[in-house]
Each structure stands twice: as C-alpha cells, then as structure tokens.
Structure 1
C-alpha cells in the first residue's frame, strides 16, 4: 500500500487505483493490515483482474481524488464518488457498478423529514466535495458544515453540534449498523432527490477504459452482485 503523496515509481503497465480511507463500506483502511479495503476496492480488483490489468493502490483523501487522477498520480478512482454532469466534463466514468441516493441521519426524537426542504432551517453536516453538498445547496439549505468524512459528521451530530447529517445512504446505514448510536436514527421517511450511478473513474480518452467496461459487463450478473451482497449493499 502506498500513500498518494509519496508514491514510488510504478511498474510499466501498472494501473494505480486511488481511493479514500473514510468511505466505509465502499473504501477504508483495514486497521489490521493498513491496506485499502471495502466494496469498491473489491469490485475494482475484480474488474482489473478480469481485464488482465496489473494494479497497485494509493490511499488518497476524497477531496484530492480527481486532482490526483488528472495529474497522473493515480490512474483510476474506486471510491464513493457518484457520476454527475459536472464531473463528466473533466473525467470519464465506467459503466455503473451500483446506484444509490442520499440518506439523512437525525436525532431520534426529531422529525419527520420527508425531503431536504424539511432541513432548510437546520444546521446540516455533509462530506466536502460530494454530490450531497450540492443537493443541500439546491434545496435551499443555507447552514451547511462540511467535513472530511461522514464519520466526523456522525460524531458532531451525536454530540449535538449538528441537527442533521446528509450523505451516502449506504455509508450512513453501515456506520449506524456497526456502531449504533442511541441518540440518532437514519430517517426512514426521507426520500432522496434521486439515485445516481457509482462507477470507476478514469481520465478521459484513457484507452484502458474500454477494457474496464467490457470486464464490468462480464462480471455484473454474478461476481459484482456477490461483492455488493458481501458488503451489505442491496
């Protein structure tokens, strides 16, 4: 495992996968091995193996993933970064691996919260650089605090510094499942603005993208579905 800030020279033909360490269950660092793991890492490894592309990995902050890709410090992003029209202008997205929307975590006795309009007057935490900060702005939520990770959002929400936390629904659900917080709940009544595609991300015009897409098509019916199920993604 290497850090994006001090990566060694890669072997010729090796594709470097960059991913953030804070996106459980999509990508995170296993404390026992200090290696990247998670559903996106497993799917990226399965896809690149099927495409016969050798890889290594680099731990990269979420907010630095696209800039690291564009400056050739990494070659592929495997993280909880949704496909959006704005991002499609500067990077290339593979065929979808998974689709999901936003989730809202609130204090247990608060609500109901049918949609983002219900939190317009509240202080809401979200992860910096994500599609979900854009959705909050589009919904007219003015008091938004941004954090490096959703774990940080959950901490401040649990301590009463926030009224709500908004972000990747599978990440929030996973965190509450593995570490229940008595004061908080994932708002079951909440309806996300919509689902968006989660893909592998590469530089535009990268010739390896066609091989990646072909491998995804071959693996989608069985192997990729199996990986998602193993990580509790339905």
Structure 2
C-alpha cells in the first residue's frame, strides 16, 4: 500500500513538472518621446528612458511584474488606454478633473507648472497681457493649450504635436512665444544651450498641476498595486532619487 502511495505521489510530481507555467503578461506602459526628461528615447541606446520610465520600471519590479513601453503621441495616450492598447500611462501628464471622467489616476508623484519661452535673440520678458493679439504655440492635448485658448486674447493659439516643433517656430520667428511644461523646457535648454530659445524671466505659471500615472477605469486592481508601490517608493526615498536623477 505504501509503495502504491509513493508511486502515485511520484507520478503526480512528474505531471506537475510537465505542466507548462504560463508567464504573466507584461504591463504595457504608454509613454511619449517628446516629454524630456519625463519620457524620451536615449539616442545612444535607442531605448525609452526618463523619470517616468524609471518610475514605471520600479513599480513593476515592486509588484513582481515586467513592463514594456509603448511609444505613443501625447494626445493619443488616453485613447490608447481606454481602448486597451496599453495598461498604464506613465508620462508628464496632469491629473485633471476632465481626464478623471475617462481614466483613474494614481496618487501624485510630481508637481509643476507651465513656462513661457521666446527666441534667444528676443530680449523681451513678456507678460501674458503683452502678448495680446499675437500668435503663440502650445502642445496639443495639454492643459496649457486649453487654458491659453480660453483666455481669448491671442490672435491664434497654434497647436503642435511636440514641444520641439514649438521651439523651432519660436526660434524662426513664426510665432511670438511658446508655452510648455517648465521642467521639460528648462531641461532641454540646459542640455542644449544652442537651442535658440530661452525661458521668459519672471513668468508666473497660468496653471500648476500634479503628475500622476493613469489606468483604465475598469482596472482597479492595477491602480491599487500602483498606489501601493508609489507609497513604498516615497517612504524609502527612491521616488525622490528617480526624479533627482533627471534634474527634477
């Protein structure tokens, strides 16, 4: 009887070993390449990098998951999330009430406001009021673009796909000034002094916002895991180190 029991146990172990173990699908993280230093592609390695890329990787490591990064235009990040093409947005995205209508946001990880920039050869430090009737630029899909349009004081708020495109037109004099994420503009100027633009001194941000990661409304389990990991990273000081690495 004991021999039969041992044989049965051995057979069960063999079957268990032969049963394939299916790896959990990686978390598909949506990023944009235009959000230096939050999200961009390292020209040396051609791999996604940046503070929000490192943060998503740290969260995945904490939860025991793996992460793959899907490069997406900023304005297409939320549609990609709501249609299931990605599982998580980790970019320099503000958690606004309008966006909360369609996605769920994590606890905040960073706070900043907008900046105004002009051509490096332009010595004027404009106020918003002094740009009345001028053409200015902002990135499509950003809260800054919405705020500028609502002011109704410009001849046009020209919308661009990327901050790099705004910088080009400001440098060439096609538009009077550009608006964008302060840390992104400041980082790019510091990395490339010959960029041909400069930040306007004394400019007061129109809006400040809190950067958060986003998940689909039908995925509360992922949101819970993300928030738990963020709490751990804040407590350990690792979150601050991630942002400090990129001058944030």
Instruction: Give the TM-score, by structure 2 length.
Output: 0.84
Q: Which residue of 1 aligns with 2:201?
A: 188
Contact map agreement 2:77 2:89 (CA 8 A) in 1: yes
Equivalence for 1:210: 224
Deviation at 1:43, TM superposition (A): 1.1
> 1:211, CA displacement in angstroms?
1.0
Match of 2:97 among 77, 80, 85: 85
Structure with bigger gyration radius: 2
Whole-angstrom CA distance in 1 between matches of 2:195 and 2:41: 26
CA distance in 2, matches of 1:110, 1:44: 40
Q: Is the 8 A contact 2:32 2:72 kept in 1?
A: yes
Cα separation, partners in 2 of 1:173 and 1:225, compared to 1, 3 Å: same
Aligned residues: 222
Q: 1:73 to 1:190 in 2, by over 3 A?
A: same
SS at match of 1:92: strand
Q: Deviations over 1:69-89 (max 9, x none)?
A: 111111001112111111000
- Taking the TM superposition and a 5 Å limit, the aligned residue runs for 1:85-234 are 85-108=97-120, 109-114=122-127, 116-140=128-152, 141-181=154-194, 183-206=196-219, 207-221=221-235, 222-233=237-248
SS of residue matched to 2:70: strand
TM-fit CA distance, 1:147: 1.1
Higher relative helix content:
2
**Unpaired runs of at least 5, structure 1:** 1-10
* Shift in CA distance, 183/126, structure 1 to aligned 2, threshold 3 Å: same
Partner of 2:11: none
Q: Distance in 2 between matches of 1:68 and 1:182?
A: 32
- With normalisation by structure 1, the TM-score equals 0.89
Cα distance in structure 1, aligned partners of 2:190 and 2:78: 30
CA contact (8 A) 1:26 1:79 kept: yes
Task: Determine the C-alpha separation between the residues in 2 that align with 1:23 and 1:110.
Answer: 27
- The answer to whether 1:76 aligns with 2:88 is yes
In the other structure, the counterpart of 1:39 is 51
Residue aligned with 1:72, SS: coil
In structure 2, relative to structure 1, the CA distance for the partners of 1:182 and 1:41 (3 Å cut) is closer
Matches of 1:168 and 1:198 in 2, distance apart? 11
| SS of residue matched to 2:111 | strand
CA distance in 2, matches of 1:90, 1:142: 32
8 Å contact from structure 1 (residues 120, 139) kept in 2: no
SS of the aligned residue for 1:202 comes to strand
- Mapped partners of 1:42, 1:81: distance in 2: 15
Q: Is the 8 A contact 1:21 1:59 kept in 2?
A: yes
Does the 8 A contact of 2:144 with 2:207 survive in 1? no
Q: CA RMSD in A?
A: 1.6
Q: Which runs of 5+ in 2 are unaligned?
A: 1-22
